[in-house]
Structure 1
Amino acid sequence: MTLAPYACDPARSRGRRYPEPAAPTRNPFQRDRDRVIHSTAFRRLVYKTQVFLNHEGDLFRTRLTHSLEVAQLGRSIARALGLHEDLVEAIALAHDLGHTPFGHAGQDALNACLHEDNGPAAQEPRGPDEPHGGFEHNLQSLRVVDELEARYPAFDGLNLCFETREGILKHCSRANAAWLETREPDGVGARFLRGASPSLEAQLANVADEIAYNAHDIDDGVRSGLLTLEQLEAVALFDEHRRAALSDHPTLRGRRLLYETIRRMLSAQVYDVIDATRQALREAGVQTLQDVRAHPPLLRFSAGMREASAALKRFLLNHLYRHPQVMETTGRARQVVADLYRVYCADPALLPPGSRREGLSLRRQVADYIAGMTDRFAIREHERLTGQRLFG
């Protein structure tokens, strides 16, 4: 693997929080990727929602299939830019480990519970080992790999490299960044306080995530019947490639036309990111990883593709994510999460013994436990504990 001078080099990694001997056949970033794949949290992603709930169909994206798609796109772009493919893949596979059941609906409900709780659990002081407040799924992903996975005899978490952990934490509130800084000076929270940028590998995983979910939510939206090809003709990015596909294959119809259009969209965005990033790196005169960290994000779309991608996002927001059928389902999902939170806080004995942790308030322990649930487990637990059946 030939690395660009501004790429992350595993031989110069900032290392792990707990020193370990080097592996004889794998570089540190390969090792991180393998640890993520073998983690319990990664396996749970197969039953966690992307847009449609897990029980709604076998062919819709889950967090697991989405993460694999992000990793594939990320590796392709990394290879072209001379970035470290194993690091991009490790970040991509781990980036959603902290997502709650029911996707963003579950995250919003859990965040609201932690902010608005007025019950007995809210009176407990915040422990030294828990974040400032609320629920951030990026921070939760970091908590999973740093604290919540219990697989090794000498430490909690997966003990990943700094560079992988930095990429997992793509967003963080200033309050939680300050909390991280007290626990790990000059660690993964420092850049949010200093206004610095992460590595290009971390930036790439973020962009690959956007490319993947935009394109594949179109596929799931059409498969569900909530979107039509006729509606999508209003989206310039989609329609451009639909017309090109029909020009080359005039008889294409239905799903084959959809697949060919999405394939061309993905390719166009990948090549656009490669070209725009190369240009940005040249214009910025970036030569080293330190240059990357000192400069605003450089891994990017061109201005035209950025606007086209934003228009696609707006379309999906208005026609898919806010579709009445999706909103009705996510409303019930929020109720499941909120009810579970109240039940566990009112009776902590209902929590399994393995979920209790020293240094955490009850409300944070409850949040960690719920965040780790799959969609179907949360639905079953809600029915068992409340007697309500909100999903068929």
Structure 2
Amino acid sequence: MTVSFASDPAQARGRRMPEEESRFRSCFQRDRDRIIHASAFRRLKHKTQVFIEHEGDYYRTRLTHSIEVAQVARTIAGALGLNPELTEAVALAHDLGHTPFGHTGEDALSAMMAPYGGFDHNAQAIRIVTNLERHYADFDGLNLTWETLEGLAKHNGPVLGEVPWALRAYNDQHDLELHTFASAEAQVAAIADDVAYNHHDLHDGLRAELFSTDELAMLPILDRCFAQVDALYPGLNYYRRRHEALRRFFGVLVEDVITLAQGRLAALQPQSVHDIRAAGHTIIRFSDAVFADLKVIRAFLFDRMYRAPSVIGMRAKVTTVVEELFPYFMAHPDQLPKQWRKDVEETQSETDLARIVSDYIAGMTDRFALQEHARLIAKDSEA
């Protein structure tokens, strides 16, 4: 069942470069499939979520995170009658612009790029799907539909004030209406991101032994989840007990989003996707009560996980990697791969070069960044 405010592929605004549409797949299905087959999507397998990719085989990477986000997003979209393929496309692509080493790498690259217009991972995702994926004969990028690009640009809300240069450069050619809210599908992808990481960061933190199950059982929402499990399964094995509690926590978040969205949609009575964009506020969100509880949980994770000594130590190490790779490639662009050197030949300013170097470093996986640092810089320092 679809609803009047769902994004309809038959009414999509099209692609920047016109293409003959498929007889078997909708335009949003093709967007999703192109994202899955993109090189940048594959590289997410070896990019940090919280823990550096090589620290353990069981921790989430950007790829497994993106798959979990897409699963949550499809569930919510289905319950609300939205288009599942557009929702999934935005969910799968939302982290394509992340650097190696997660937010730590982004912070370091942002500092390096400050004199050249800065760096923003959401804007970088747009740059990847509109320019840097260069595999098709007729165009650079993936030539995604307007709706998918809008969702990537605005899934966290309107882009107001200073627009990141990478997003502005594309928007000047193909107006994504940055001042409005995105479709309900994109809003679902954004909240699914919150659901996924709030759940899996707790799981990964337990696996890393940064806190105990008993400590989790004292947090809001989780206290009820553990109580339910203990009542149903007294004496349950430690690992099964925490799994059962965390899956219930996961369910609480998803159900809260669906219930609140149903109420807000009933009050708004949107008749089209345009009514969602013009609503003036986010439709898909957590209830105030659950959001307040999540703030407590996030504060716990910030203190016990994101600022844990082991995590801080690794953050310092990988920050140095980015801080040293950037000036190295600025001084030695001849060390860039052959296909990147062709772009360097067309540069007209230091800013142009910096943006090519930034694109290259941002696309690195954790392990490749470490390998290149060891090969190009650590080797020289040891000589």
Work out whether the TM-score is over 0.5.
Answer: yes
Following TM superposition, by how much is the alpha carbon of 1:255 offset from its aligned partner in structure 2, in angstroms?
1.5
Determine if contact 1:88/1:201 at 8 Å carries over to the other structure: yes
Determine if contact 2:29/2:85 at 8 Å carries over to the other structure: yes
Following TM superposition, by how much is the alpha carbon of 1:343 offset from its aligned partner in structure 2, in angstroms?
0.6
Q: Which moved more, 1:37-46 or 1:231-240?
A: 231-240
- In structure 1, how many angstroms separate the alpha carbons of the residues matched to 2:128 and 2:170? 16
- In structure 2, how many angstroms separate the alpha carbons of the residues matched to 1:42 and 1:68? 11
Q: 2:177 aligns with which of 171, 183, 190?
A: 190
Counterpart residue number, 1:65: 64
Amino acid across the alignment from 1:100:
T
Q: 2:362 aligns with which of 371, 377, 380?
A: 371
- In structure 1, how many angstroms separate the alpha carbons of the residues matched to 2:64 and 2:164? 30
Following TM superposition, by how much is the alpha carbon of 1:354 offset from its aligned partner in structure 2, in angstroms?
1.3
Q: List gaps (5 residues or longer) in structure 1.
A: 117-121, 123-132
Moved over 4 A (4+): 177-183, 185-189
TM-score (norm 2): 0.93
What SS is found at the alignment partner of 1:387? helix
- In structure 2, how many angstroms separate the alpha carbons of the residues matched to 1:387 and 1:293? 50
Counterpart residue number, 1:53: 52
Question: Residues 117-168 of structure 1, C-alpha deviation per residue, up to 9 Å, x if partnerless?
Answer: xxxxx6xxxxxxxxxx111000001111000001101110000011111111
| Count of aligned positions | 371
Q: 1:318 aligns with which of 288, 293, 303?
A: 303
**1:31 and 2:30 are equivalent in the alignment:** yes
Q: Aligned Cα RMSD in Å?
A: 1.9
Amino acid across the alignment from 1:115:
A
**1:223 and 2:210 are equivalent in the alignment:** no
Question: Residues 324-364 of structure 1, C-alpha deviation per residue, up to 9 Å, x if partnerless?
Answer: 11011011111111110011011111111212424671110
Q: List gaps (5 residues or longer) in structure 2.
A: none
- In structure 1, how many angstroms separate the alpha carbons of the residues matched to 2:129 and 2:197? 23
Following TM superposition, by how much is the alpha carbon of 1:22 offset from its aligned partner in structure 2, in angstroms?
0.6
**1:174 and 2:161 are equivalent in the alignment:** yes
Counterpart residue number, 2:373: 382
**1:246 and 2:237 are equivalent in the alignment:** no
**1:138 and 2:122 are equivalent in the alignment:** yes
Counterpart residue number, 1:305: 290
Question: Residues 35-93 of structure 1, C-alpha deviation per residue, up to 9 Å, x if partnerless?
Answer: 01111001101000111111101111000000000000000110000000011111111
**1:345 and 2:345 are equivalent in the alignment:** no
Determine if contact 1:180/1:187 at 8 Å carries over to the other structure: no
Task: Report the identity percentage.
Answer: 44
Amino acid across the alignment from 1:34:
D
TM-score (norm 1): 0.91
Following TM superposition, by how much is the alpha carbon of 1:181 offset from its aligned partner in structure 2, in angstroms?
5.5
Amino acid across the alignment from 1:175:
E
1:178 to 1:361, Cα distance in 2 relative to 1, 3 A: closer
- In structure 1, how many angstroms separate the alpha carbons of the residues matched to 2:52 and 2:257? 31
- In structure 2, how many angstroms separate the alpha carbons of the residues matched to 1:105 and 1:197? 28
- In structure 2, how many angstroms separate the alpha carbons of the residues matched to 1:226 and 1:180? 38
Q: 1:212 aligns with which of 196, 199, 220?
A: 196
Following TM superposition, by how much is the alpha carbon of 1:183 offset from its aligned partner in structure 2, in angstroms?
4.8
Following TM superposition, by how much is the alpha carbon of 1:182 offset from its aligned partner in structure 2, in angstroms?
6.6
- In structure 2, how many angstroms separate the alpha carbons of the residues matched to 1:180 and 1:98? 12
Following TM superposition, by how much is the alpha carbon of 1:177 offset from its aligned partner in structure 2, in angstroms?
5.9
- In structure 2, how many angstroms separate the alpha carbons of the residues matched to 1:190 and 1:78? 23
Q: Which moved more, 1:250-259 or 1:198-207?
A: 250-259
What SS is found at the alignment partner of 1:175? coil
Amino acid across the alignment from 1:245:
V
Determine if contact 2:120/2:164 at 8 Å carries over to the other structure: no
